[in-house]
Structure 1
Amino acid sequence: MTGNGRVFVSDHEDGVLELGCPRRPLVGPPKDFVPNGFALLESGEFLIANLGGEGGVWKLDASRSPSPYLMEVERQSMRNTNFVMLDHKGRLWITVCTRQTPRELAFDRHIADGYVAVVDAQGARVVADGLAFTNECRMHPGGEWLYVNESVGRRLVRFRVHEESGRVTLGAKECVHEFSDGDFPDGLAFDCLGGAWVASVISNRVIRISPCGEKQVVLDDSDPELNALAESVYAKSGVSKSVFEMGRRRSLSNVSSVAFGGADLRTVYLGSLGGDRLASFRSEVAGHQLAHWQFGT
């Protein structure tokens, strides 16, 4: 979402689709290209996290032909790249959910090999490792913390951000909130009060975690029987793909992302893995203005 009302969504055919505009399919995308998280740049180009195929971060310009932007970090292939985010200082934050191939192997709750990489003035490198299926990340409105969702770890965690001579490092991992009752955190956004809004992909809930860690269910489209089944399966081994996909039967259809938009940043948009519509509702509290808010205005 941008300050002039433009709304962009991740789309497997178009890479990034702008609502209200004609569809513009990708030209010559790589094999098994699965666009997931993306970042809008000031140039009007996009950086797209490729969750499929060879992974990596790809650039999408006006030609609609994706080109490689970052395919490895510290000599490691970036397969299963999940998310890319631009912060207010021009740094890029990238999450890789797992080093396992296929990535469904990391649905095992005993596996924690996902990581966070940064691209800053000193280049690209891994700054946090050992995460249980790393999903979306966001910079806290104050700029001093990076928050990350561990989907299979079922935690919202944070790392203190340190910077010296343009080089960023992260402090030790701190747990902000542990989820239960069928909740598996996926998408993440902040409101202007510092509350973290989390999209829970299996339970189809939108949850706000206050600055002091308290949980508030903002929107609930869950199935109690599915929540109980998810808990039972998770206790034995981890997330089951079949149970995971049962969430698509609900109206929110595996809700996976949450974002604030509208002129007053009080319209909440919800993306999903299984739906063909974008849900929205109004919030009493405004969202935090992201780095790209004024781009293209």
Structure 2
Amino acid sequence: MTEAATGEAGFDPAGFRLTQGDFTFLGEDIQRPECVVALSDGSILASDCHAVVARIGADGRQERVGDGVELPNTFALDGEGNLFVTDLERRTVVKCDEAGASVVLDAFEGGPIGAVNYILGGEAPGEFWLTVSTQLPNLWDAISEPRPDGRILRLEGGNARLVADGLYFPNAMQINTETRELYVAETTAGAVARAKINEDGTLGPMERFGPEPVYEGAFLDGLAIDVDGNVWLTELARNAILVIDPAGHMHTVFEDPEGETLKKPTDLAFGGPDGRTVFVGSLKMKTIPRFRAPVAGMPQWHQRRQVTLNTGIERSEMTGG
């Protein structure tokens, strides 16, 4: 690993590169770990189609948690540690708690919600942000023929409202709490958009952040933000990890076209005791790749509030440790 110089200006991604040897792997036999969440107690949660999530404790013990979701794509926690999950097959948002699984959202404005993809916990209690990647019945039609029919919804108290529209397959999101901006990866545009979060929870105008596209043929998926305001991304075509610095310049820090180390990387989550371990989700792998970054991630609300997974959610099959 080559680390960029750091100083008063912070981390400079222009000089940072990863090699295959910088990756280690966590967990085993996780089916489609699209989403990864790092908690303050040292545990890692990942989407797992064997259940709802796989939980890997700080001691290395792994267990499957939850039931009642057909295709658990992404998830977030509420203040009590319950899971709010996007079911990409049924196109619903499902809550998993000690009572089991229950549908929270399955329609919008009297019609189908669309391909609800990514869910992000907001700063207010009970607030979530949702990307709906397309209105088409078939996801691959929206990928093969890109169209701006994606949207962002804000969910609060079980009620959803539209806050952004006209996006190209919006996917992962994160909030920069310093600037109070929401960033979103637009997969089929191969680019990132951002907007100010207004006091009433609506969004200001979307604007492009960084190159459009980051490079020809790019399909962005995961997105995370570090404490210096750099935006970290995963890209599916080259199995790449990219960084866009605050000035909007894009840097490729790792790419693996043959898929020897990363295969279809999706989500990114900063965690670990110092916030500098980056965990990578994927569509094709059965473990969680991880690497060390020269800078810590911007703490998400569940990390700042030390939220842990509700122990009352159904558990099964403990391994490792």
Q: TM-score, normalised by structure 2?
A: 0.77
Identity of aligned residues (%): 31
CA shift, 1:77, in A, is 1.6
SS in 2 for 1:292: helix
AA at the equivalent of 2:186: E
Query: How many angstroms apart in 1 are the aligned matches of 2:105 and 2:128?
Result: 11
- Cα deviations by residue, 1:75-129 (Å, 9 ceiling, x for unpaired): 2322321011112223210011100011111013442211100024794111111
Q: Which moved more, 1:92-101 or 1:17-26?
A: 17-26
1:162 to 198, 204, 209: 198
Which residue does 1:241 correspond to in 2?
none
**Is residue 115 of structure 2 the alignment partner of residue 70 of structure 1?**
no
Change (3 A) 1:25 1:146: closer
Higher relative contact order (CA 8 A, sep 6+): 2
Change (3 A) 1:22 1:258: closer
**Is residue 307 of structure 2 the alignment partner of residue 295 of structure 1?**
yes
1:44 to 63, 74, 81: 81
2:282 to 261, 266, 272: 272
2:63 to 19, 23, 26: 23
Change (3 A) 1:261 1:22: closer
Q: Is the 8 A contact 1:106 1:112 kept in 2?
A: no
RMSD: 1.9
1:281 to 291, 305, 320: 291
Unaligned runs of 5+ in 1: 224-248
Which residue does 1:252 correspond to in 2?
262
Which residue does 2:30 correspond to in 1?
none
Query: How many angstroms apart in 2 are the aligned matches of 1:181 and 1:108?
Result: 15
Structure with higher helix content:
1
Which residue does 1:173 correspond to in 2?
206
Which residue does 1:94 correspond to in 2?
130
Q: TM-score, normalised by structure 1?
A: 0.83
AA at the equivalent of 1:190: I
Query: How many angstroms apart in 2 are the aligned matches of 1:6 and 1:25?
Result: 13
Which residue does 1:231 correspond to in 2?
none
SS in 2 for 1:106: helix
2:220 to 185, 190, 199: 185
CA shift, 1:183, in A, is 2.6
- Cα deviations by residue, 1:41-83 (Å, 9 ceiling, x for unpaired): 221211001111x2111011135x3210111222232232101
Alignment map for 1:134-173 (pairs within 5 Å): 134-163=170-199, 167-173=200-206
Query: How many angstroms apart in 1 are the aligned matches of 2:96 and 2:252?
Result: 36
Query: How many angstroms apart in 1 are the aligned matches of 2:74 and 2:114?
Result: 14
Which residue does 1:129 correspond to in 2?
165
Query: How many angstroms apart in 2 are the aligned matches of 1:281 and 1:122?
Result: 37
Change (3 A) 1:181 1:250: farther
Q: Is the 8 A contact 1:51 1:79 kept in 2?
A: no
**Is residue 43 of structure 2 the alignment partner of residue 6 of structure 1?**
yes
Which residue does 1:210 correspond to in 2?
245
AA at the equivalent of 1:275: M
Q: Is the 8 A contact 1:14 1:26 kept in 2?
A: yes
Q: Give the number of equivalent residue pairs.
A: 264
SS in 2 for 1:8: strand
Unaligned runs of 5+ in 2: 1-37, 310-321
Query: How many angstroms apart in 2 are the aligned matches of 1:46 and 1:26?
Result: 9
Query: How many angstroms apart in 2 are the aligned matches of 1:46 and 1:282?
Result: 27
Change (3 A) 1:101 1:58: same
SS in 1 for 2:302: coil
2:115 to 80, 92, 111: 80
Query: How many angstroms apart in 2 are the aligned matches of 1:153 and 1:198?
Result: 14
